[in-house]
Amino acid sequence: MPEPLLAIEHLRVDFPAVVAVNDLSLTMAPGDVCGLIGPNGAGKTTTMRAVSGLQEFTRGSVRVAGHELASEPDEMKRRLGFMPDFCPTYDQLTTMEFLEHFARAFDVPNRPKRIDDCLELTWLTDKRDSLCEELSRGMKQRLVLAKTLLPDPQVLLLDEPASGLDPLGRIELRKILLQLRDAGKAVLISSHILTELSGFCNQAAIMERGRLVKFGTIADLGQQMNARRMSVKWRGASEPALEILRNTNVKIIETAAAGATFDFAGETDALDELLKTLVVQGVRVSEWRGVGDDLEQIFLQSGAKELM
Amino acid sequence: MKLSENPIFITRQRLGHRSGVLAAVLIAALIGFCLLLGLVESLRDPAHSFKTPQEAGKFFYGWIVGVEILVIVIGGFSAIARAMTEDRKAGLWDSNRLTPMKPPQILAGYWLGSALREFYMAMALAGFGLLIVLLGRLPVFLWLGTQTLIASTALFFGLLGLLAGMAFQRSPGLLIFLGLFFVWPLTFLAPSRMLVDFLLPVYGIGNLFCDHPPEKDSYATDWHSPPDIFGLPIPPVALSLILQLVIGLFIWRALVRKTANPFQPLLLRWEAFALFGILFFSQHALLWDLWRGHFPDLAKVIKKFNEPETLLPIVHGGTLFIGGLLIFLASPQPEHVRVESLRLGFKNFGAIFSRSAVSLAIALAGAAAVALLTQFMFAPAKSWKIFLVAAANSAEIFLVLALLLEFCRLRHRRRALGFVALWLFVLCVMPFILAGVFSSEITARFSLLAPAFVALSNANECWPSLAGALLTHFGVIVVLFLGWRRQWKKLLESAA
């Protein structure tokens, strides 16, 4: 079995009066993009800061490409890029100078070309001579991402990378992340906005109150799901439809004037059969869909709360 | 990595140049030019108040030195501390720490790159200073010596600036300015006897300006002769450079450690102990020539300093201040000990004691006592009581500080410092207030600060009342110790 790019084992971080991260273990292979999901205060940022070496941890170990954080911090720093949830930039430097600063610090070979590549990757080439203070929030975010990518790290930790981006910026970010995934990087990306992560994460790690509630590939977690949340809407009277639902293997979560949300525990064929029964019994079904995508489904059934 | 390739140095240089240095350098050059003009004018006009060109040269070069110190020492400190606090606030400090740069490289970038504007200003002033020295027919060594001392002091204060930048949320430039403003007059009390005169380095510069023996009994006598270390004369410039280098090395080690891991204590215990020992042995070595181990009998009376008996109480005050500061810096945060206990699995009280500042306080008190003993060692019959009171009182004060600090941190958490201040006020200041209210001198002696000061300044003191005060303070320590022990026990239980 190949060495995982990122291996976190039994990580624990203590703050006064609270265990911020408790016994967290996860591994990521090349090409893995893992969504670190959880409500505010779940411990996502603390986990990332601990993995990057900014936060002291009480127990556990962190290895990046086989290099242990505790014993080989310098080797690890060359292989790990951390993008915080805010944009630390030198406002009075140009974007080019800012990147040059970090390219020197990482001793990046062929500096000018690498800086150009990173500027191009983050669509900032035309801003190379602009002062950092003149950039919009989204541009700054992309600049910090470019800085993170400069040393070509094998593992990327992105803390709420899309928090300040407009819709176009989010689409651009998604494209960059897909490129990184295809380039064989391991990306751990935190967010409390699930739609941000949908579509390109192949792993999910759900945190609540410092604990990892669920971790695995989206496919595995989907299979583990014991129920699928569905939404149905109809035209006409509600009672016949609700009667059918009650008599089937579903748990009704919410009812509305002409619709309901329910959890269905069973195979896809059985779900199809339920729809057929509704239609055959004369219910005029106007909408039939799963609530959210895979990631949202997994999260909803993880037991974690308070997500945006 | 060469300094010219250090990314932080390059960035600080860019930021400095972008915010403008020309105007600042021109201001410094204009000041230098005006002083040079003043000298030329005084040399041209024979009716001028200066007796010789040298006297005029010293006057105008003295101004250059003063302004240069203000610019590069105070201004440099402030600029470095500001650069650090701003980068920490913006998250850039962490960004730099996440690069493979070594902590000394990161620190060197901030240290040598953040005060370039002040450096250029000082260079302009130094240039005009050299012209003034040459025109005033003063020895070039005066310029060389003063510039060396200014440079070393600027580097030393730069390290302090880094330290302040790590500790404070805002640049404490004003604080250091005010601190120096109040310390400054003290440096003229006994110039060749006070360590602070060599750290700053007031004496070294003053001594360089005294190029011929002063008249007998003049105040300048104390500025002319080299300082004595246990009776052996040592060049003042060398003493200043050695002291700044040694203390600077300790500060550098602390900074490197904090940069590598901000969760480590600023000072290791052996460093705090060594630093304290170096400072107080040097201080007592500077005083040694006065009593030569026969305190309170003076071996030699220094001129124009009529009350040499006030020197030991002043040194005692300094001992308490520095000792208290080191205890504060080396005292562990309870949360850090709790996490360490979780990590290493220790639960015994011995482990707590070895990490606590209480054991350090005992060690510091021991070092202070040994340093103080040098003044008493050859007249034990006459002075053993004074020595015992002073040593015991220092030990009590250090212990109270260490116990109180940790007790309040454990008990009151974020409000700890307020409660430490409250209890120190009760123990140190209240007895003086009560003494005023009840017109009772005895009450004042029960202040935690009183016994040593009283014993050192008045050899014929009434010993029973001082012994009573010391015993009372010991009782306070016992009570504090019990509370302190209970709080640590609770913390260890919570870590189980």
Over residues A67-106, the pLDDT tens digits come to: 999 889 888 999 999 999 888 999 999 999 999 999 999 9
Same domain, residue pair A295 and A202: no
Note whether residue B274 is domain-resident: no
pLDDT at A6 over 60: yes
Q: Please give the residue of chain A at the shortest CA–CA distance from B263.
A: A56
Give one word for A155, left, alpha or beta, with left for phi > 0 and alpha for psi -120 to 50: beta
Name which of B88, B235, B79, B230 is nearest B157 in CA terms.
B79
Note whether residue A157 is domain-resident: yes
Question: A147 and B95: CB-CB below 8 Å?
Answer: yes
The answer to whether A302 and A214 have CB atoms below 8 angstroms apart is: yes
Taking each helix axis from N to C end, the angle separating B311-330 and B357-373, rounded to the nearest 10 degrees, works out to: 160
Q: How far is A99 from chain B (nearest CA, A)?
A: 10
Same domain, residue pair B290 and B197: no
Task: Kindly report, residue by residue over B461-491, the tens digit of the pLDDT.
Answer: 778 888 899 999 999 999 999 999 999 988 8
The answer to whether B299 and B242 have CB atoms below 8 angstroms apart is: no
Same domain, residue pair B397 and B259: no
Examine the fold and report which residue of B229, B264, B299 is the final residue of a domain before the chain moves on.
B264
> A201 by DSSP, 3-state: which?
coil
CA distance B136 to B139: 9
Token pair 């400090």 is at which residue? B93
Name which of B294, B364, B289, B373 is nearest B329 in CA terms.
B364
Residues near A125 by Cβ (< 8 Å), separated by ≥ 6? A116, A119
DSSP string, B186-236: HTTTSTTT-HHHHHS-HHHHHHHH--SPPPTT-TTHHHHSPPEETTEE--H
Residue type, A99: L
Note whether residue B272 is domain-resident: no
Task: Kindly report, residue by residue over A255-305, the tens digit of the pLDDT.
Answer: 888 899 888 877 778 888 888 888 988 889 999 887 766 677 777 666 555
pLDDT at A61 over 50: yes
pLDDT bucket at B277, cuts 50 / 70 / 90? very high
Taking each helix axis from N to C end, the angle separating B311-330 and B269-291, rounded to the nearest 10 degrees, works out to: 180
Same domain, residue pair A149 and A238: no
Cβ-based neighbour number of residue A23 at 10 Å: 14
Q: Please give the residue of chain B at the shortest CA–CA distance from A59.
A: B343
The answer to whether B133 and B143 have CB atoms below 8 angstroms apart is: yes
Same domain, residue pair B336 and B460: yes
Complex confidence, ipTM: 0.85
CA distance B392 to B404: 18
pLDDT at A136 over 60: yes
Residues near A189 by Cβ (< 8 Å), separated by ≥ 6? A33, A34, A35, A36, A156, A158, A161, A177, A197, A201
Give the total number of structural domains in chain A: 2
Same domain, residue pair A217 and A292: no
Predicted local distance difference test score (pLDDT) of residue B301: 56
Examine the fold and report which residue of A164, A190, A223 is the final residue of a domain before the chain moves on.
A223
How many CB pairs below 8 Å do chains A and B form together? 70
Note whether residue B275 is domain-resident: no
Note whether residue A1 is domain-resident: no
Same domain, residue pair A258 and A210: no
The answer to whether B396 and B369 have CB atoms below 8 angstroms apart is: no
CA distance B24 to B16: 11
Task: Kindly report, residue by residue over B35-77, the tens digit of the pLDDT.
Answer: 999 999 998 887 777 888 899 999 999 999 999 999 999 999 9
pLDDT at B212 over 70: no
Q: How far is CA B359 from CA A11, B24, B139, B318, in A?
A: 33, 50, 52, 21
Task: Kindly report, residue by residue over B149-199, the tens digit of the pLDDT.
Answer: 999 999 999 999 999 999 887 777 777 778 877 777 777 777 888 898 998
Same domain, residue pair B228 and B339: no
Same domain, residue pair B207 and B306: no
Burial of B381 per CB tally in 10 Å (0-12, 13-18, 19+):
exposed
Q: Please give the residue of chain A at the shortest CA–CA distance from B410.
A: A16
Q: Name the residue range of residue B204's domain.
A: 1-264
Residues near B331 by Cβ (< 8 Å), separated by ≥ 6? B356, B357, B360, B402, B405, B406, B409
Examine the fold and report which residue of B230, B264, B298 is the final residue of a domain before the chain moves on.
B264
Provide mean pLDDT across the span B298-309: 63
- Number of residues assigned to chain A: 308
Same domain, residue pair A202 and A242: no
Using CB atoms, pick whichever of B7, B18, B94 lies closest to residue A54.
B94
Same domain, residue pair B288 and B259: no
Token pair 């300082």 is at which residue? B227
Note whether residue A140 is domain-resident: yes
Same domain, residue pair B101 and B195: yes
Using a CB-CB distance cutoff of 8 angstroms, which residues of chain A are in contact with residue B90?
Answer: 88-89
Provide mean pLDDT across the span B284-310: 75
pLDDT at A7 over 70: yes
The answer to whether B171 and B85 have CB atoms below 8 angstroms apart is: yes
Same domain, residue pair A213 and A260: no
Predicted local distance difference test score (pLDDT) of residue B120: 97
Q: How far is A104 from chain B (nearest CA, A)?
A: 6
Q: Please give the residue of chain B at the shortest CA–CA distance from A17.
A: B335
Task: Kindly report, residue by residue over A196-251, the tens digit of the pLDDT.
Answer: 676 778 888 989 899 998 888 877 776 666 667 788 999 988 888 888 888 887 88
Specify the higher pLDDT residue, B465 or A145: A145
Using CB atoms, pick whichever of A59, A88, A101 lies closest to residue B343.
A59
Note whether residue B270 is domain-resident: no
Question: A97 and B11: CB-CB below 8 Å?
Answer: yes
Same domain, residue pair A275 and A208: no
Predicted local distance difference test score (pLDDT) of residue B129: 97
The answer to whether A179 and A147 have CB atoms below 8 angstroms apart is: no
Predicted local distance difference test score (pLDDT) of residue B334: 86
Note whether residue A15 is domain-resident: yes
Q: How far is A255 from chain B (nearest CA, A)?
A: 47
Same domain, residue pair A99 and A132: yes
Predicted local distance difference test score (pLDDT) of residue B463: 82
Residues near B212 by Cβ (< 8 Å), separated by ≥ 6? none
For position A149, which CATH number holds? 3.40.50.300
Bond before A16 cis per omega within 30 degrees: no
Helices (H) and strands (E) in chain B, counts: 24, 2
Note whether residue A18 is domain-resident: yes
Note whether residue B477 is domain-resident: yes
Predicted local distance difference test score (pLDDT) of residue A173: 82
- Calculate what percentage of chain B has a pLDDT beyond 90: 58
> A285 by DSSP, 3-state: which?
strand
Cβ-based neighbour number of residue B331 at 10 Å: 22
Predicted local distance difference test score (pLDDT) of residue A308: 40
Same domain, residue pair A257 and A143: no
Burial of A56 per CB tally in 10 Å (0-12, 13-18, 19+):
middle
Using CB atoms, pick whichever of B15, B339, B413 lies closest to residue A90.
B15
Using CB atoms, pick whichever of B90, B339, B343 lies closest to residue A88.
B90
| pLDDT mean across residues, chain A | 87
Same domain, residue pair B248 and B316: no
CA distance B140 to B411: 60
For position A255, which CATH number holds? 3.30.70.1150
pLDDT bucket at B283, cuts 50 / 70 / 90? very high
Question: A92 and B339: CB-CB below 8 Å?
Answer: no
pLDDT at A307 over 50: no
Question: A104 and B7: CB-CB below 8 Å?
Answer: yes
Same domain, residue pair A214 and A250: no
Q: Name the residue range of residue A55's domain.
A: 6-223
Examine the fold and report which residue of B231, B264, B297 is the final residue of a domain before the chain moves on.
B264
Using CB atoms, pick whichever of B11, B90, B339 lies closest to residue A14.
B339
Predicted local distance difference test score (pLDDT) of residue A1: 59
Q: Please give the residue of chain A at the shortest CA–CA distance from B15.
A: A92
- Most confident listed range (A260-269, B115-124, B340-349): B115-124
Examine the fold and report which residue of A184, A205, A223 is the final residue of a domain before the chain moves on.
A223
Question: B98 and A82: CB-CB below 8 Å?
Answer: yes
Token reading at B381: 């019959």
Predicted local distance difference test score (pLDDT) of residue B92: 96
Give the total number of structural domains in chain B: 2
Examine the fold and report which residue of A177, A199, A223 is the final residue of a domain before the chain moves on.
A223
Same domain, residue pair A230 and A81: no
CA distance B5 to B101: 12
Q: Please give the residue of chain A at the shortest CA–CA distance from B83.
A: A90
Same domain, residue pair A118 and A196: yes
Burial of B306 per CB tally in 10 Å (0-12, 13-18, 19+):
exposed
Note whether residue A306 is domain-resident: no
Note whether residue A307 is domain-resident: no
CA distance B466 to B464: 5
Token reading at A108: 């990046």
Same domain, residue pair B147 and B7: yes
- Number of residues assigned to chain B: 496
pLDDT at B332 over 70: yes
pLDDT bucket at A127, cuts 50 / 70 / 90? very high
Chain B residue set in contact with A, beta carbons under 8 Å? 5, 7-8, 10-11, 14-15, 18-19, 90-92, 94-101, 261, 263, 335, 338-339, 342-343, 413
Same domain, residue pair B481 and B442: yes
Token pair 């402030």 is at which residue? B78
Same domain, residue pair B391 and B464: yes
Note whether residue B323 is domain-resident: yes
Q: Please give the residue of chain B at the shortest CA–CA distance from A74.
A: B100
The answer to whether B303 and B218 have CB atoms below 8 angstroms apart is: yes
Same domain, residue pair B259 and B288: no
Token reading at A103: 């390219």
Q: Please, where are the H alpha helices in chain A?
A: 44-52, 73-79, 95-105, 111-121, 137-149, 167-182, 194-197, 218-224, 239-247, 268-280, 294-300
Note whether residue A305 is domain-resident: no
Question: B99 and A102: CB-CB below 8 Å?
Answer: yes
Q: What's the pTM value of the predicted model, to 2 decimals? A: 0.86
Question: B96 and A16: CB-CB below 8 Å?
Answer: no
Q: Strand (E) positions, B228-382?
A: 228-229, 232-233
